[in-house]
Amino acid sequence: MKLKATPLPGVVIVEPTAFGDDRGWFMESFQEERWQKGLKDLGLPPSRRFVQDNHSCSQAGVLRGLHYQLPPHPQGKLVRVVRGAAFDVAVDIRAGSPSFGQWFGIELNAHNRLQLWIPEGFAHGFLALQDDTHFLYKTTDVYAKDCERSIRWDDPAIGIQWPASGITPRLALKDAEAQLLAGAECSAQATNVGGESKDSHQPPSSV
């Protein structure tokens, strides 16, 4: 696997290596030692061990997020799409962070096989771009309902450029009624996320 820094400090793109022939292909989707070494090589702290795997299926236009969990159960997430396609977004919500409120977005799909690492202290969401989109993610902590929070997907203070121009996303009630960032409970700033922030919101990147 190859880890690449994004414009949003701490958020990382993971490019697995696939080996294929006329029978099909094989790839190693995760390997602990290579994963931790890749983070270290980027100047990032090690992640906590992953303790839970989740799998969701969404129809085109479904938007899930922006989700996060507060301490004592903050979640880092390593996410990927194994069927269909999704526009995946991370937002820095660490109080006091130089990149607070900034975001990064990328298309994850079954063909590019990319993964995105969203550290603890970041909110996460995605928009399904195709029907029957299967989204898999590993988390560094278990689901804890009392710690679960949501931020509005269309908060103008964040300004995410979702690719569904003119389309009203399909939302769960908790996401439709989510807080704006200005009124949300946010995590304390994590240390050593790597790199310095830029002053403006990060533009989306599509692969």
Identify the burial level of 150 via C-beta atoms within 10 angstroms of its C-beta, where 0-12 means exposed, 13-18 middle and 19 or more buried: buried
Question: Coil, strand or helix: which one is 129?
Answer: coil
Q: Are 48 and 75 in contact (CB under 8 A)?
A: no
Which residues fall within 8 angstroms of residue 172, CB to CB, at 6 or more apart?
64
Tokens found for residue 81? 């799409």
| H/E run at residue 18 | strand 18-21
What single DSSP character describes residue 120? Answer: T
Question: Coil, strand or helix: which one is 145?
Answer: helix
Positions marked catalytic: 67, 137
Tokens found for residue 122? 């970041």
Which residues fall within 8 angstroms of residue 28, CB to CB, at 6 or more apart?
1, 16, 17
Q: Are 54 and 137 in contact (CB under 8 A)?
A: yes
